[in-house]
Structure 1
């Protein structure tokens, strides 16, 4: 049987906490008054695999994992709009002895300075370098910069990591 509401309120008062403090601790820092609950019907094997994923990735709950999956889909939707303001990183690994590639990288970064925020260069060994370039702008422009860099002669591997400016996603 649940304790009487007055008894619960008195216990909370003695601890110097509010019900909001307690509920936010119980629900991962979220204000439960703004959370919406809903049910999901799902096959048991999928749920078991999802629970493994929740545990492996260290989520506090299924709810937090589902919120993260939803946010990931929102980011994909942002990137699908060619005009959407996005941010991301382009990571490339290349042979630094390719002199023409160094010129291409420098020229492109100057030509697209409105999309390239900054870059970091790392010497991996005597022959290979890694460059991480932070890019921002309309998704079509950012993808164009990434495609040009990744396709450049001498690039061994490249990848665009798409993320969000955070302006349209709440946590």
Structure 2
């Protein structure tokens, strides 16, 4: 077993502790291992090659984070061929929700979604992949 050191902001740590209490996990390490396993399983399940799909990418981000809004916008512009539509919602004075509807191969949609949700100060990002079986582009 390997030891890994991570830094979590206070709010995320409170959420993790609350989850641990609710689920009855024995400690933080076991809870984090379970979450990593679930995340790896989800990532593996979603990556299905070149089959066409629709992706619904949703994420919340801190609009005041340095250059984040510009980087996100540039990413969508550089992948304009994947983007069908997008929605931007101001949740409060600090947070924005964006939803992007994407169309492309499962690999392309998953890769782009991973890139967006991995940006620093992007929170709660997820993508729902909907296969387009038997359809033509």
So what's the TM-score if we normalise by structure 1? Answer: 0.50
2:65 pairs with one of 81, 94, 98: 98
**2:35 aligns to what?**
none
Could you tell me which runs of 5 or more consecutive residues in structure 1 were left unpaired when the two chains were aligned. 1-76
Equivalent residue runs for 1:139-150 within 5 Å: 139-150=106-117
Question: Relative to total residues, which structure has the larger helix share, 1 or 2?
Answer: 1
Could you tell me which runs of 5 or more consecutive residues in structure 2 were left unpaired when the two chains were aligned. 1-44
Question: Are 2:87 and 1:82 equivalent residues in the alignment?
Answer: no
CA distance in 2 between partners of 1:151 and 1:122 (Å): 20
So what's the TM-score if we normalise by structure 2? Answer: 0.61
- What is the RMSD computed on CA atoms of the aligned residues? 2.0
**1:124 aligns to what?**
91
**1:160 aligns to what?**
127
- Matched residue count: 92
* CA radius of gyration, larger in: 1
Question: Relative to total residues, which structure has the larger strand share, 1 or 2?
Answer: 2
CA distance in 1 between partners of 2:47 and 2:124 (Å): 24
